[in-house]
Each structure stands twice: as C-alpha cells, then as structure tokens.
Amino acid sequence: MGEGWRAFQLVVRRINLVTGYASAIMIVFSTIAISFEVVSRYFFLAPHDWNLELNTFQLIASTFMAAASTQAARGHVGIEVLDSILSTRANWWRRFLADLLSAGFCGFIAIHAWRYFSEAWEGGWVTDSVWAPRLWIPYFFMSLGMTTLTFQFLVQILDERILPLVRKE
C-alpha cells in the first residue's frame, strides 16, 4: 500500500503509545487517590464524596485507552490451544474472522459511544452525587478507546491478513 496507509499506521501506533502510557499514569493516580481515601477515612474519619467517582472515571478511561495498545501487542485473551489443534490454514481463517468480527463490533460500539458522548455533552449530563462531575468525561474515553481499538484491528487485518496475500501474487 502507499504512503497514505503508512501514515495511517504511524498515527495509529503513536496514538496507541500515548494512550497506553496515559492509561498507566491514570492507574498510578487512581492508586494514590484510593490510598489517600483509605488513610483519610481510617486516621481522620473523613471520607470524601469525590474519590469514588474520580477513581471510577480514571479506571474507565484507563481501561478503554489501553485497549488498542494491548491489542497491538496481541495481549487480549485468546484461545491458544486451538493453534495446536487446527491446521495453519484453519488458524489463519480463525484469526482473520476473529479480527474482522472484533473490528465490526468495536466499530459499532464506537459509533454509538460517540453519539452517547454527544448527548451527554449537549445535555449537560452529570452524575447524581454531590460532586456531580460531567458524564461526557467517561463517555469521551469510552468513545476514544473503542475508536482506537477499531483502527488497531483494521491495521492488523490489513497488515497481517490482506497485504501478505496481495504481495504473494
């Protein structure tokens, strides 16, 4: 494929790298915030209303942001026993169909997550807590994560399945 495809691959790789590191940083901050809450409750008998929601938002964001980076490393759950049972050709088709179906599912979720984000943004949706943070924040990270995961699947489908066939001919 041409320069456009290589540029798209590079952008996807860089976004995966940034979101993967951002995800790790969010988990560290979430750990610090949870520890702060535990110390505050235990020693000072002073719980915080904001801590649970902050950590929920951070864990949602970090989970969805790390999805594409994890997929790039093929780190998601797989059924490895099938590799040894099935033939090379059957495994090729199994992986191809799994990637194709996963890309379709993630793309479907991404489209609807962006719609949900838009509704939350325009509607000014907030949580029911006293702190009442905006709900567009976790919806944005869900949308971003599913979009980058879809793009990662597309890169893998083309690079690992389609382009090797085209190059053979």
Instruction: Encode pLDDT of 57-76 as tens digits.
Output: 999 999 999 999 999 988 87
Summarize the confidence of residues 116-124 as an average pLDDT.
Answer: 98
Which secondary structure element, helix H or strand E, spans residue 158, and what is its range?
Answer: none
- The whole-chain average pLDDT of the chain stands at 92
Q: How far apart are CA 139 and CA 147, in angstroms?
A: 12
d(CA 5, CA 137): 31
Domain extents in the chain: 3-168
Q: What is the mean pLDDT of residues 142-151?
A: 97
C-alpha span between 51 and 40 (Å, rounded):
11
For the segment 122-133, what is each residue's pLDDT rounded down to a tens digit? 999 999 999 999
- Model confidence at 169, pLDDT cuts 50, 70, 90, reads low
Phi, psi of 125, rounded to the nearest 5 degrees: -65, 140
Residue type, 66: A
| Residue 120 scores a pLDDT above 90 | yes
Q: Which two tokens stand for residue 125?
A: 């949706």
Confidence of residue 1 (pLDDT cuts 50, 70, 90): low
* CB atoms near residue 113 (< 10 Å): 21
